[in-house]
């Protein structure tokens, strides 16, 4: 059957790879930019949209950190959470694992307990519309200090809904900090958190292997360079280690030349476990719903393919089994297996 917008809109979804700051809509960024001073983020909408036209990943990171610098008070953190929750709920998203980089907020003067309180408050506020869980991630650009501080926050001041521990940022900047990063992940996993590092987005398969062997990854953020290593592809196929794929993001940050060249179809053909996600949706002028639309329109996926991607997201989530089954039942009602 033909994939329609109505089908995509009706499909129950979960979102596993979306960043708190990167989820800030244009109106939210404008509000924060006008609220605060001493920054270079445009306060005019047209100029802001031009500001967010990325040349490459380092430029994206530069813009991301500039926007992150607008988040200066706990109420700013809560505003971001409620904003992304509202946007996702409108897309029939039942559950989100929202990636938060607490080191960035604490480094501008917020206390760990204040950040946690804002996250808890926001999750409770939106609970009638969508279930929010959190992943704390290390900003890789800031090395040992960020690794230790993020682990400290996760272990000693965790939000009630904290489920995972990750690392993002420019992957090349992790070099020389492997021990501190491994130590942070080891402590987080020992405390019961799930390991969900970014890897293989802007570097080769070696970063994915490090995530698997050094960080005990249970899911991989991006992982698109895995196809360069047949041994890694075989491992991922055998273990069914989930990969969080974000097609529009990869195009916008120049990790792939255009959407037609995206490796998603090949990854599926190789039998890899793939989930579909939005990453930093307003910054990339996308939504999770649009990622499903792109997968159908530009990458040739059909209704059953999209339904299976939605099922993959549910099964790869850290929801309790009864909640997973409830969402899977909803998906089956729209597109039976």
**Residue spans per domain, the chain:** 5-334
Judged against a pLDDT cut of 80, whether residue 60 lies above it is answered with: no
Q: Which residue has the higher pLDDT, 213 or 56?
A: 213
Q: What is the pLDDT of residue 98?
A: 98
At residue 39 the predicted structure's pLDDT band, cuts being 50, 70 and 90, is confident
Q: Find tokens 């195009």 and name the residue.
A: 251
Q: What is the pLDDT of residue 245?
A: 98
Q: What is the pLDDT of residue 148?
A: 98
Write out the catalytic residue numbers: 201
Instruction: Answer yes or no: CATH 3.40.50.1400 is held by domain 5-334.
Output: no
pTM for the structure as a whole:
0.93
Q: What is the pLDDT of residue 165?
A: 98
At residue 33 the predicted structure's pLDDT band, cuts being 50, 70 and 90, is confident
Q: What is the pLDDT of residue 26?
A: 79
User: Measuring CA to CA, how many Å separate 38 from each of 60, 108, 184?
Assistant: 20, 13, 33
User: What order of strands is seen across the sheet that includes strand 198-199?
Assistant: 198-199, 220-222, 243-245, 274-276
Mean confidence (pLDDT) of the chain: 94
Q: What percent of the chain shows pLDDT beyond 70?
A: 100
Q: What is the pLDDT of residue 106?
A: 94
At residue 38 the predicted structure's pLDDT band, cuts being 50, 70 and 90, is confident
- For the chain, first and last CA: distance in Å? 14
Q: What is the pLDDT of residue 7?
A: 97
| Token pair in block for residue 237 | 């196929």
Q: What is the pLDDT of residue 23?
A: 84
Of 71, 103, 111, the C-alpha closest to 180 is 103
State pLDDT tens for residues 184-212: 999 999 999 999 999 999 999 999 999 99
Q: Which residues are CB-contacts of 86 (< 8 A; sequence separation ≥ 6)? A: 126, 129
Mean pLDDT of 111-119: 98
Mean pLDDT of 3-12: 96
Interatomic CA distance for residues 180 and 147, integer angstroms: 6
Of 40, 18, 17, the C-alpha closest to 29 is 40
State pLDDT tens for residues 66-110: 887 888 899 999 989 998 999 999 999 999 999 999 999 999 899
State pLDDT tens for residues 197-252: 999 999 999 999 999 999 999 999 999 999 999 999 999 999 999 999 999 999 98
Interatomic CA distance for residues 52 and 57, integer angstroms: 12
Please say whether the beta carbons of 199 and 210 come within 8 A. yes
């Amino acid at each position: 059957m033909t994939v329609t917008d109505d089908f995509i809109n009706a499909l129950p979804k979960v979102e596993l790879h979306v960043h708190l700051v990167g989820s800030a809509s244009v109106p939210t960024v404008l509000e924060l930019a006008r609220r605060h001073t001493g920054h270079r983020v445009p306060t005019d909408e047209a100029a802001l949209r031009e500001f967010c036209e990325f040349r490459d990943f380092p430029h994206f990171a530069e813009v991301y950190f500039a926007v992150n610098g607008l988040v200066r008070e706990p109420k700013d953190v809560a505003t971001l959470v409620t904003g992304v929750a509202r946007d996702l709920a409108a897309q029939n998203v039942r559950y989100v694992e929202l990636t938060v980089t607490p080191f960035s907020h604490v480094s501008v003067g917020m206390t760990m307990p204040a950040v946690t309180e804002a996250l808890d408050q926001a999750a409770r506020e939106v609970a009638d519309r969508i279930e929010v869980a959190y992943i704390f991630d290390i900003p890789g650009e800031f090395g040992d200090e960020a690794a230790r501080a993020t682990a400290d926050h996760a272990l000693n001041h965790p939000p009630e809904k904290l489920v995972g521990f990750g690392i993002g940022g420019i992957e090349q900047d992790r070099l020389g900090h492997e021990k501190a990063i491994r130590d942070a992940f080891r402590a987080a996993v020992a405390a019961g958190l799930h390991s969900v590092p970014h890897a293989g987005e802007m570097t080769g398969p070696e970063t994915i292997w490090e995530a698997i062997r050094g960080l005990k990854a249970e899911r991989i953020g991006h992982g698109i360079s895995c196809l360069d290593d047949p041994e890694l592809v075989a491992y991922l196929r055998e273990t069914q280690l989930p990969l969080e794929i974000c097609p529009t993001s990869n195009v916008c940050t120049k990790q792939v030349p255009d959407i037609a060249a995206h490796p998603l179809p090949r990854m599926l053909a190789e039998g890899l476990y793939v989930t579909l996600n939005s990453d930093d949706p307003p910054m990339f002028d996308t939504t999770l719903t649009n990622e499903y639309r792109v997968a159908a329109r530009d990458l040739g996926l059909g209704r059953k393919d999209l339904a299976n991607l939605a099922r993959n997201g549910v099964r790869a989530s850290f929801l309790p089994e009864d909640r997973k089954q409830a969402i899977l039942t909803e998906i089956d009602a729209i597109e039976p297996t």
